[in-house]
Amino acid sequence: MNPAQLFMFSEDQSPVFMPHADTACEKLHGMLDKMRAAASGPWKASTVSLYRETVWSSLLGKLADHSEAIRLRAEMDAEIARLDAAA
C-alpha cells in the first residue's frame, strides 16, 4: 500500500468542506442570476445535467427553509426550460 492510500485510513483526516446554508443560498442565487441573464444556455448540457442531479440537490439540501429550497428548484428548472427552448 502506498502512502497516499494509508491516508484514507488515518484518523487524522482533513475536514470535508460542507457549505453553510448562507453560502449554499448565495451560490444557488448566483447560478439562477446567471441563467436569468443569459439569452442562451450558459453551460454545456453535460454541466446542466451535473448541476441538476448533483450540485443543486446538494446545495438545496443545505438550506434551512424547505419551502425556499422548493421555490429555488422550481425557478432553476423553469430557467433551464426557457434556455433549452431558446437553443
The reported pTM is 0.71
Measured distance CA(38)–CA(15) in Å, rounded: 36
CB 34 within 8 A of CB 66: no
CB 69 within 8 A of CB 24: no
Q: Environment class of residue 25 by beta-carbon count within 10 Å: exposed (0-12), middle (13-18) or buried (19+)?
A: buried
Write down the mean pLDDT value for the chain: 82
List the chain domain ranges: 19-86
| Closest CA relative to residue 36, chosen from 6, 81, 66 | 81
- CA dist list (Å): 76 to 49, 56, 65, 70: 12, 9, 17, 10
Q: What confidence tens digit (pLDDT) does each residue in 20-52 have?
A: 888 999 999 999 999 999 998 888 888 888 888
